[in-house]
């Protein structure tokens, strides 16, 4: 091949490459424009084909340099939200959202002090957030956000994580710092009372995978609030001779003695 034709071929390849890069860039920008401000996202949400990855990373870098998005961790980005006062910082849960889902499905949820603070059970804020998942150990280091992996008692889905949150609070009730037990029991009782009959049955079912103390506490609350017509499974799952030290008496929870809570 003559040098002339080689030169023309190089120009053609460069042109095709440029068109490809620009096409991918427009595709990326269109996808990001569809993402709501103030939310996080991963590469997977941009529908990037394997052959587009290099061009896509360059497009992402340009958007970061323009200040349209921010990188908060490797492969995790945040679409900035503006207000009249300037850029709004992303919420903690939004920063953690990419780690709680996999292929669009929830696989984890936030638990521990961070959860109990959000529930109003404590005023303390943890330095490290606990992330519960059944099969995956999720650790996070995104800016000031640090996440520690803990194992959930059952598989986590978008349809049950809020029930697992309640069970976690019942399980850890006696370990929650600065807790006002009377207020906390009211908060948890109200959450349980708002559940449908189907949700209450699911809550009871999931509790069977939890330690006995959590099941006893749940039984006492369900008994007190008349939230369940059938407590048989909970009663049968507990040793009638075992007591559970929660520092809860009948003034705080009238059914506590019946369920061996002391």
SS (H, E, C) 63-85: HHHCCCEEEEECCEEEECEEECC
Query: 124-138, pLDDT tens digit by residue?
Result: 989 899 999 998 898
151: enclosing H helix or E strand:
strand 145-151
C-alpha to C-alpha distance for 131 and 112, rounded to whole angstroms:
8
- Mean pLDDT (the chain, rounded): 87
Confidence at 66, pLDDT banded by 50, 70, 90: confident
| Largest separation between any pair of C-alpha atoms in the chain | 96
Tokens of 167: 């069970």
Strand order in the sheet with 129-133: 108-111, 129-133, 145-151, 140-142
Tokens 């059938």 -> residue: 230
Tokens of 34: 């569809």
- For residue 88, pLDDT over 80 is answered with no
Tell me, what DSSP letter sits at residue 195?
Answer: S
**Which three-class secondary structure state does DSSP give residue 43?**
helix
Tell me, what DSSP letter sits at residue 11?
Answer: H
Tokens 């959000």 -> residue: 118
* Across 110-119, 137-146, 217-226, least confident range: 137-146
Tokens of 175: 């370990």
The predicted structure's pLDDT at residue 84: 67
107 within 8 A of 100, measured Cβ to Cβ? yes
Domains and CATH numbers, the chain: 3-88 (1.10.10), 92-236 (no CATH)
C-alpha to C-alpha distance for 14 and 20, rounded to whole angstroms:
10
C-alpha to C-alpha distance for 130 and 149, rounded to whole angstroms:
6
Considering the entire predicted model, what is its pTM? 0.77
Strand 129-133 to 145-151 pairing: parallel
Tokens 């921010």 -> residue: 70
Work out the average pLDDT over 80-100. Answer: 75
Q: Return the number of other C-beta atoms located less than 10 Å from residue 181's C-beta.
A: 17
- For residue 241, pLDDT over 80 is answered with yes
Confidence at 10, pLDDT banded by 50, 70, 90: low
Q: What is the Cα 194 distance to its own chain's centre? A: 21
- For residue 32, pLDDT over 70 is answered with yes
The beta-carbon contacts of 242-249 under 8 Å, at least 24 apart in sequence, are 242/212, 244/212, 244/213, 244/216, 244/217, 245/174, 246/173, 246/174, 246/213, 246/217, 247/174, 247/181, 248/181, 248/185, 248/220
C-alpha to C-alpha distance for 235 and 249, rounded to whole angstroms:
19
The predicted structure's pLDDT at residue 11: 67
């Amino acid at each position: 091949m003559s040098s002339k034709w080689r030169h023309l071929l190089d120009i053609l390849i460069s042109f095709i490459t440029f068109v490809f890069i620009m096409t991918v860039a427009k595709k990326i920008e269109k996808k990001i424009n569809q993402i709501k401000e103030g939310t996080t996202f991963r590469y997977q949400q941009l529908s990037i084909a394997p052959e587009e990855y290099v061009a896509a990373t360059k497009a992402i870098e340009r958007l970061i340099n323009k200040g349209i998005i921010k990188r908060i961790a490797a492969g995790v980005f945040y679409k900035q939200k503006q207000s009249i006062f300037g850029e709004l910082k992303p919420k903690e849960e939004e920063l953690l959202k990419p780690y709680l889902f996999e292929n669009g499905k929830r696989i984890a949820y936030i638990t521990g002090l961070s959860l109990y603070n959000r529930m109003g059970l404590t005023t303390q804020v943890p330095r490290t957030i606990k992330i519960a998942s059944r099969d995956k150990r999720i650790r996070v280091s995104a800016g000031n956000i640090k996440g520690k992996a803990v194992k959930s008692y059952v598989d986590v889905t978008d349809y049950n994580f809020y029930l697992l949150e309640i069970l976690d609070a019942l399980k850890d009730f006696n370990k929650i710092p600065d807790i006002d037990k009377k207020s906390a029991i009211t908060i948890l009782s109200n959450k349980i009372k708002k559940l449908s009959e189907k949700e209450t049955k699911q809550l009871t079912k999931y509790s069977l995978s939890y330690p006995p103390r959590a099941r006893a506490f749940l039984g006492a609350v369900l008994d007190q609030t008349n939230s369940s017509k059938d407590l048989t499974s909970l009663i049968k799952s507990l040793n009638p001779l075992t007591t559970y030290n929660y520092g809860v008496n009948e003034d705080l929870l009238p059914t506590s003695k019946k369920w061996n809570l002391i």
